Structure 1
Amino acid sequence: MSGWRVETQGWAVDRSRPVRFTFDGKSVSGFAGDSLASALLAAGVTTVGRSFKYHRPRGFWSAGAEEPNGMADILGTPHRVNVQMTVEPAQDGMVLRSINGRPSAEKDRNAFIDRFARFIPAAFYYKTFMFPDWHMFEPRIRAMAGLGALDPAAEGHLPTAQANAFCDLLVIGAGPAGLTAALKAAEAGRKVILCDDQPVAGGSLLYREALIDGVAGPDWAAAAVARLRELGAQVMLQTTAFGRYEHGLTGLAESLGQGDAPRLWRVRAAETLLASGAIERGLPFANNDRPGVMSAMAALQYLRRYGVAVGRRIIVATNNGIAYEAAQALALAGAHVTVIDPRADAPACDLPRRRDRIEAVIGRNGVEAVLLASGEKIAADAVIASGGFTPTVHLYSQAQGKLRFDEAIQGFVPERKVTGLSVIGAANGAFGLAEVLADAAAAVGAVSPKAEGPHWPFKIDAAWPAPKAKGRIWLDLQNDVTAKDVELAARENFVSVEHLKRYTTLGMANDQGKTSNLPGLALMAQLTGRSIQETGTTTYRPPFVPIPLASFAGIRGGQLMNPVRRLPLEAEHRSDGALFREYGGWLRPAWFGKGEEAEAVNREAKAARESVGLFDGSPLGKIEVIGPDAGKFLDFIYYNTMSTLKPGRCRYGFMLTEQGAVYDDGVLVRLDENRFIVSCSSSHTQGVALLLEEWRQDSFDRARVQIHDATSRYATLTVTGPKSKALLEAVGLGADLSDEALPHMALTYGAFGGEPVRITRVSFTGDRSYELSIRADRALPLWRALKETGRAFDAVLLGGEALMVLRAEKGYIVIGKDTDGRTRPMDLGVSGPFEKKRGEYLGKRSLHLPAVSDQARAYVGLESLTGEVLPCGAHAVERNGSAKRSIGFVTTSHFSPNLSRPIALGLVENGASRIGEILELHHLGKSLKARIAPVCAFDPEGKRLHA
């Protein structure tokens, strides 16, 4: 290939603004408006990459997003970017690095692999590297795999915006069909969004000869866009529709510039028109992958759009009439053009022509000549080939549309309209301009514009790869799949299109088989004696083109990815000297005051046992379950029976997963006959709310059960310790707090400053405790009153770390810390419902499975025999000779200031029957000893709850 500039062509480039960049270390000149591909072609660069498997030299095949060969890494940006050079604008100062070639695409040290191609056919790795062990070969194979390279020094990703849009009509593709449909719809008063992946609207009108209503194609397209904007339509250029999803959702990726991840648009439209055009495919001849072999429409685009002729002596090989426009244009530009067309009814033309077909390309690293089936050789430096056009129906198929094979165009077209989406223009199999415009106008109920040209009739003869053809005929140019690979798959009975895809990797490259799938399927059809329709197609999945993962992440990162939740009283806690940590997604005080953590935690835990502790428990879940069937619903949700709970009372219970594992624990409060409050763990509030909603919708009458998460509406202030009752009476809540009126696990109501306060007597410390729930925006005066009045009672502010110590002293579990994904309620000593509950409940079936019921673990206490705090995660081991087996592990471990010794909890096999037994513990190479003890180490009789 000897590309060169044509002075009279190239409307897209500004020759007054030169740009310069480097490719594999070589300087390349171009103009503003060039793509990287057009600039490289104009500079005579033929080899732009190496194929994935055999490292064969590859040049550009196309001028668009279907390009299988021309990828490169852009270096020197904040994040190394992998791009398709056919769609990436050339910019001054760019530093490009070809992919899969070392040290360069032109001189690749791995090119020798192609000499051994006969020994490494399709799926050879499945058969070759199994003996003696795949892992011996894996590191080297993985090092050679991949197209492009990541920059390990890059941190994070570029923040990328996301947006939502709604419209009456979304038109995908701004070629003649898309522009016509969008314009007619906008003129009818519909709200329209038009998107196209190119920087200029017009599609084929920008490089093919055409008149619409007497106006030249490019001028008509520009006028249509201007009119659309006048009518209020949203025209989004350089924006690719990459996926079609449920409920009419279409994903769009809008280009923001070099190095940026595209902005992600989620568009919901009442109706969508797919005007995505068609992709030109190649012809089957040996060495059809050589640099210099290119699509005919790509060559025409490079000529008319960028002013680049792809060669001096050009062979145009075709089985249809559209390629003649490219042949004539290149000849008029000054190239010597010869047409190879095997059809008997080929159109008349004044160019040299052979009624023949190409047998093979001759040339090692590029095109030097072609060998015809007749035996004639013709010297050439470029071959532009047109084997027909494949409608771009990917988004239609993603919407569950079915395809049929159309013999007239030798391609798959939509079989019927799917809900909310129609296909028009070339994507619908219409290749004449008048036909395209009529199809588009009919889709929106309008009259079609008048069309003239292009004048070459499309009429096509089939030209598919033939079984047992001579030479290596390439189907998938990126993944190095040949016709012989498909034949091998057929011999080994991988005849399903999905099996063929995975056995040969046909269509699994980043271009997703846009140019290769149909020839491969047609060959398989011949090999198996089926029609192409019967052979079928593989599954089209989004995205249509590669989309950076950063665009899906958007600006979500850090706080924007997982925003920490904040307490209503955070500012007050900070003024009291709180040190904050994140607990279950909430930013909460870990301890108060200056000094070392251990000192502060011990001080708070000891003072709370001796006097009274004040703790902000606002993150505790407060999910209301309301309705006539609320009790029945909660009996299903909870492991325990909850419908027997009396109004004004509380009950502790477990929720299980469907696998029977403990998901959450907490207190259920019954306010009245039809209203409950689920007080779940702080970290599980959102999960429990979703679980409740899921089962409500799935198994219960939604009119008789309602779910309302009121967690953020209320603050919950906890008062705990032997002086807690006296403190509350001194504050004056106007409620009877006597044990007769308010026993443990009961609730009453009071008021503070005219605001209602719900008072629940529950305990998470083992001491007498009260939870005060008040509107979050009214909590500050109550909290200050508790602190001020509490001074007379030696009240202490209690942080999360001290609370964990108090809970551990009593053996109270922390879900996710003292449990794992296999912990059953029986492991925690709660077996009553398992044995007695007759009704159905979540997880019941799993609890009765042999694999679960045979599990023998128990929640136990552990006493350190060395006097040091046992490390969390340390494994209890059982020896059998020199072998060791884990029989459990430490879940919680603290120093108890109230017992003046270490305490620990754990899950141990058969632990309930092994109280007093000494265990050997291992942790990070260290051996320890501990004695199994009851879980409750402090006040085992529970007297302090009522003191």
Structure 2
Amino acid sequence: MSPRRAVSGGRIDRLRTIRFTFDGKSYTGHAGDTLASALLANGVTLFGRSFKYHRPRGVLTAGVEEPNALVTVLSGSVREPNIPATMLEIYDGLMAESQNRFPSLEYDVRAVNQLGGKLLGAGFYYKTFMGPVIGPLKGTRFWMFCEHFIRRAAGLGRAGMEKDPSRYERMNAFCDVLVVGAGPTGLMAARAAADQGARVVLADLDAMPGGSANWSDETIDGMAAADWAAETVRELKALENVRVLPRTTVWGYYDSNTLAALERVADHKLAPAKGEPRHRHWTIRANAVVLATGALERPLVFPGNDRPGVMLAGAAERYANQYGVMPGRKLAIFTNNDSAYRAALALKKAGGEIVAIIDMRDDVSDAAQEIAGKVGGMHLTGHAVIGTEGGKRLGGIKAQRFDARTGALSGDPRNIPADCLLMSGGWSPTIHLASQAGLNPVWSDDLQAFLPPQATQNWVGAGGFNGSFATAAALAEGYAAGLKATGAPAVDADLPSVDEDGLDPRPAPVLEVRSKGKAFVDHQHDVTADDVRLAHQEGFVSVEHLKRYTTLGMATDQGKNSNVPGLAIMADALGKQIPEVGTTRFRPPFAPVSVGSLAAERYGEIKPDRLTPMHDWHVENGAAMYGAGLWHRPMIYGLPGETVEQAYIRETKTVREGVGLVDVSTLGKIAVQGPDAAEFLDRVYTNMFSTLPVAKARYGLMLREDGLALDDGTTWRLGQHDFLMTTTTANAGKVMQHLEYLLDVVWPELKVHLTSVTDQWAGAAIAGPKSREVLAACVTGTKVDNQALPFMGIVHGEIDGAPVMICRLSFSGELAYEVYCGAGHGAHVWEVLMKAGKPFGIVPYGLEALGTMRIEKGHVTGAEIDGRTTARDLHLDWMLSKKKPFIGSVMMDREGLVAEGRLQLVGIVPLDNRPVNGGAHIVEELHEDSPRDSIGHVTAMCYSPTLGKYIALALVKDGKARRGTRAFVSDPLRKRFGQVEIVTHHFYDPEGSRMHG
């Protein structure tokens, strides 16, 4: 028998012994134990070290809110840190280790931080590391000097570097009613909804549904509460319209009654069964939600409240009743409400000795008085614990007379020997999901707690979630909530009978016990009551600022324990009431979620492979492919021994001097059709399209509603009411979404139909002085001379029997044509064009050569249309029509978009003729040791074979006015510095004579 395992009782299977290790030492427990309960049963009280001071910490809670007992689970070479020992079910072969200590948990050298005292108080990072270093490193920021050491000390658990071998799944569920929480309240709600024929999902974060019934001494319908809960769960599981999800945490509440949940399928096993995932992520869409999430007990704030052996009274009750574990032999109780008396009775029945019950209140209920008489020991009302004694384990406590109205202490302190102190500061309804779904919570003076806000989505709460802590009332609320969720009328149901104990869980006002020593509010992050008051003294009067300055509530428990005590101390410092101070909003996730479950099957090369019809030809002919959005596109067609730069220089020169062919099938293509198509395009583009003749194309620019550039491309008029719009590859989806929104919401009266036809057309651009000769050699059914096919003209013909549509336009700056055909003909047309061009020395070219030619020409792409630039910034103001309004025309002239100092497109020439990198800064004065004062950045760079030097495009403040001046490139990450000349962005053929020839 383990030293602290009760002789009988609990919901564990005492016939099954489980062997596991903690910090390399072997222990045993029983099936149904958590790591926390098993270690407590073995007499372990030291579980971890705190974040800042490395103070010894024991287990504080018995659930998901645990801030102290965080462990790393080892599985071969895989490490998973920050798992609450209170939620980790033990299994044969489990290996866990403590965290945030060196060299061992018992002897942690970083505990020396405790000597730092006030130096390490709230805001010490901001105060300590902002100044300069003096001495040999004078001029260096102190933070930069200390950063390496601080980052090594920061954090809690250490993440592993090995690949996670586990499998994860995603699931979608649709139901009429989702019940969150399977305590007595949730079970009644699920039963009521199921009785109405509703499809019900019942989710509970514990392994054993039943919630508080599993550790309550109450009887329901003449049975032990745990037996009643187990029987009810069996009945629900037998129903076809009910799905019960144990070990499932509903962690997020989103719009349209969509909730996210994590099911821990195999965390209680050494390895998942064949085909079984470790975690399953659920996206649940429910018509209605019942929130039966109960409440969380709060700690009290007094000096020494973090010593191992100090825990919540409700947690101790759970360890005794559910796990048959005694957290100590000589137990003291410190409370401001009646619920701790129930814990005292449970621990007395399990064999513990209650040495004292210390109650802040002068007057306690008759039921509490009766229990105090039964359990024995001192019963000190109107008293408070003012300190604890012992080293890494509790040895005793000090109690003193306490005025619960003013917080004043009086009289002489008493020394009380105890190896475990159980505290209860009241209960906070678990309203996190409701807060995520809607409004701010509402403060209750009666319960000294925040209650759920008014519902803005279709949910209803019940039980402890609503502040109803009496079991009979919670059962009735649960049943009524289940009916309400289905839309059924309320009825007088035959509810289970409950043997109530008459205890009143309403607490005295939340007060800090102020005495000598550190009193902790946030146990994990070592935030003390003094830190909260210091934040107030230094001007941080907003609750949001308090949180960030002190890190209160930013630990892994996200303030589940510390929120209300911290607000109470801040309210006292401000001279206000807690509701006046307010509270930070609860945000998802409610509890940590594994990254694997969020990704699930979407890992590795997860994006779909979008391949053009010519993809196989590219690969067979030596193309080096890379991703462009979702597409695979040729980068270069390298010859043996060529570098990327040598290859694109060769391809670019060949196109400029002869002819080349590039695959442009990936361009976004949208069919815009209908009687109002021309009018629609006039409103969407900055320039006019209603005047465009049939069989002609025009370059167009779109703005966003805020006046910034969205996308550019050409649109072809194929008929009176039939247009083909092309977009950039990257923005195809964004533009389609934008256009659909405009038609659906802004202009629903327009008779226009949009169809994405990107995948229906294959496209090849043939460019160079000899491109017309190549086309003439293989196109039939039409002429391609200058008269038949002028610049921006469109003709239809055939290439070796395949119907094609040809538009004369150029992205390269050369005489060029885009040849479109049905996707099924794409590879054939490409091969015919290559064959026809062979006598002319044709080469296929990739994106690197295409990019080089566009930089030489000064054309813009997504690197310049980056969501921050205007048409004027890009020298495209000639496209802004003065004859019509268009999307963005109202906002494009606002002050900030026409002010001096905006980034404008320019050309850059490095004077040392060395490459520069995209993203490198442009500066007026070079300070290599301390880069500063950026006036812009490089957007694209290449070696120009046409000009014989490296060139780049950049966005620079007042760039147009800076042409002909010099500046510097500053790229400290890549150690690239040098002088550059700022020139026009048109490096090559600015008049356009070559493409119009």
* TM-score normalised by structure 1 residue count: 0.88
Q: Partners in 2 of 1:670 and 1:78 — Cα distance? A: 59
Q: Which of 323, 329, 332 in structure 1 is aligned with 2:340?
A: 323
Look up the match of 2:136. Answer: none
Q: Partners in 2 of 1:634 and 1:161 — Cα distance? A: 44
Structure 1 spans left out of the alignment, 5+ residues: none
Q: Which of 360, 373, 381 in structure 1 is aligned with 2:419?
A: 381
Look up the match of 1:98. Answer: 98
Structure 2 spans left out of the alignment, 5+ residues: 133-140, 272-276, 402-412, 484-490
Look up the match of 2:247. Answer: 238
Look up the match of 1:430. Answer: 468
| 2:388 counterpart of 1:362 | yes
SS at match of 1:444: helix
Greater shift in the superposed pair: 157-166 or 364-373: 157-166
Look up the match of 2:138. Answer: none
Residues 588-614 of structure 1 show CA distances to partners (whole Å, capped at 9, x for unaligned) of: 233447424467656655555666544
| 2:639 counterpart of 1:589 | no
Q: Partners in 2 of 1:526 and 1:407 — Cα distance? A: 15
Q: CA deviation at 1:176?
A: 0.9
Q: Partners in 2 of 1:412 and 1:928 — Cα distance? A: 62
Look up the match of 1:17. Answer: 17
Residues 416-437 of structure 1 show CA distances to partners (whole Å, capped at 9, x for unaligned) of: 4442111111111121221111
Q: Partners in 2 of 1:863 and 1:482 — Cα distance? A: 58
Q: Partners in 2 of 1:492 and 1:856 — Cα distance? A: 38
Q: Letter of the aligned partner of 1:150 in structure 2? A: R
Q: CA deviation at 1:204?
A: 1.1
SS at match of 1:559: coil
Q: Partners in 2 of 1:238 and 1:295 — Cα distance? A: 23
Look up the match of 1:52. Answer: 51
| 2:763 counterpart of 1:716 | yes
Cα 1:591–1:531 change in 2 (3 A) is closer
Q: Partners in 2 of 1:877 and 1:488 — Cα distance? A: 42
* Counterpart contact for 2:649–2:943, Cα < 8 Å: no
Q: Which of 665, 681, 684 in structure 1 is aligned with 2:712?
A: 665
* Counterpart contact for 1:38–1:306, Cα < 8 Å: yes
* Counterpart contact for 1:21–1:92, Cα < 8 Å: no
Q: Letter of the aligned partner of 1:321 in structure 2? A: D
Q: CA deviation at 1:779?
A: 2.9
Q: Which of 537, 559, 562 in structure 1 is aligned with 2:605?
A: 559
Q: How does 1:518-557 map to 2 (within 5 A)?
A: 518-557=564-603
| 2:260 counterpart of 1:251 | yes
Residues 878-918 of structure 1 show CA distances to partners (whole Å, capped at 9, x for unaligned) of: 7899999989869443353xx59457454597887999999
Q: CA deviation at 1:451?
A: 2.6
Look up the match of 2:689. Answer: 642
Residues 552-609 of structure 1 show CA distances to partners (whole Å, capped at 9, x for unaligned) of: 344434431x445311221233344433233454212334474244676566555556
Q: Letter of the aligned partner of 1:687 in structure 2? A: K
* Counterpart contact for 1:205–1:218, Cα < 8 Å: yes
Look up the match of 2:60. Answer: 61
| 2:865 counterpart of 1:815 | no
SS at match of 1:37: helix
Q: Partners in 1 of 2:725 and 2:765 — Cα distance? A: 17
Cα 1:805–1:513 change in 2 (3 A) is closer
SS at match of 1:287: coil
Q: Partners in 2 of 1:159 and 1:237 — Cα distance? A: 19
Q: How does 1:69-148 map to 2 (within 5 A)?
A: 69-75=68-74, 76-118=76-118, 120-127=120-127, 129-132=129-132, 135=143, 139=147, 142-143=150-151, 146-148=154-156
Q: Partners in 2 of 1:251 and 1:880 — Cα distance? A: 51
* Counterpart contact for 2:536–2:573, Cα < 8 Å: yes
Look up the match of 2:196. Answer: 188
Cα 1:270–1:626 change in 2 (3 A) is same
SS at match of 1:243: strand
SS at match of 2:108: coil
Q: CA deviation at 1:794?
A: 5.7
Q: Which of 942, 965, 968 in structure 2 is aligned with 1:893?
A: 942
Q: CA deviation at 1:772?
A: 2.7
| 2:317 counterpart of 1:300 | yes
Q: CA deviation at 1:72?
A: 1.9
Q: Which of 158, 179, 184 in structure 2 is aligned with 1:176?
A: 184
| 2:986 counterpart of 1:935 | yes
* Identical aligned residues as a percent: 36
| 2:706 counterpart of 1:679 | no
Q: CA deviation at 1:64?
A: 0.4
Q: Partners in 2 of 1:443 and 1:478 — Cα distance? A: 36
SS at match of 2:734: helix
Number of matched pairs: 939
Look up the match of 1:508. Answer: 554
Q: Partners in 2 of 1:558 and 1:814 — Cα distance? A: 33
Residues 492-547 of structure 1 show CA distances to partners (whole Å, capped at 9, x for unaligned) of: 56444334434443322221221222233334444545444444333211111122
Q: Letter of the aligned partner of 2:365 in structure 1? A: D
Residues 378-411 of structure 1 show CA distances to partners (whole Å, capped at 9, x for unaligned) of: 3221122233222111111111244333444443
Greater shift in the superposed pair: 392-401 or 631-640: 631-640
Q: CA deviation at 1:687?
A: 3.3
* Counterpart contact for 2:249–2:263, Cα < 8 Å: yes
Look up the match of 2:482. Answer: 444
* Counterpart contact for 2:810–2:995, Cα < 8 Å: no
* Counterpart contact for 1:661–1:843, Cα < 8 Å: no
SS at match of 1:247: helix
Q: Partners in 2 of 1:615 and 1:435 — Cα distance? A: 74
Q: Partners in 1 of 2:909 and 2:565 — Cα distance? A: 72
Cα 1:818–1:270 change in 2 (3 A) is closer
Cα 1:849–1:565 change in 2 (3 A) is farther
SS at match of 1:369: strand
Cα 1:27–1:236 change in 2 (3 A) is same
Greater shift in the superposed pair: 872-881 or 780-789: 872-881
Cα 1:425–1:941 change in 2 (3 A) is closer
SS at match of 2:179: strand
Q: Partners in 1 of 2:384 and 2:927 — Cα distance? A: 75
SS at match of 1:166: strand
* Counterpart contact for 1:877–1:887, Cα < 8 Å: yes
Residues 830-854 of structure 1 show CA distances to partners (whole Å, capped at 9, x for unaligned) of: 4424595674553774566477553
Q: How does 1:498-897 map to 2 (within 5 A)?
A: 498-560=544-606, 562-592=607-637, 594-597=639-642, 601=648, 604-605=651-652, 608=655, 612-627=659-674, 629-656=676-703, 663-693=710-740, 699-701=746-748, 703-721=750-768, 724-725=771-772, 727-728=774-775, 731=778, 733-735=780-782, 737=784, 739-750=786-797, 757-790=804-837, 795-807=842-854, 811-816=857-862, 825-826=871-872, 829-833=875-879, 839-842=885-888, 845-846=891-892, 849=895, 852=898, 854-855=900-901, 891-894=940-943, 896=945
| 2:515 counterpart of 1:464 | no
Q: CA deviation at 1:695?
A: 5.2
* Counterpart contact for 1:764–1:812, Cα < 8 Å: no
SS at match of 2:469: coil
Q: Partners in 2 of 1:231 and 1:885 — Cα distance? A: 67
Residues 720-748 of structure 1 show CA distances to partners (whole Å, capped at 9, x for unaligned) of: 44554555455455345454443220223
Cα 1:578–1:10 change in 2 (3 A) is same
Q: CA deviation at 1:28?
A: 3.2
* Counterpart contact for 1:181–1:443, Cα < 8 Å: yes
Cα 1:296–1:828 change in 2 (3 A) is closer
* Counterpart contact for 1:209–1:453, Cα < 8 Å: no
Q: Letter of the aligned partner of 1:744 in structure 2? A: F
Q: CA deviation at 1:269?
A: 0.7
Q: Letter of the aligned partner of 1:312 in structure 2? A: R
* Counterpart contact for 1:669–1:678, Cα < 8 Å: yes
* Counterpart contact for 1:713–1:775, Cα < 8 Å: yes
Look up the match of 1:264. Answer: 281
Greater shift in the superposed pair: 549-558 or 654-663: 654-663
* Counterpart contact for 1:476–1:507, Cα < 8 Å: yes
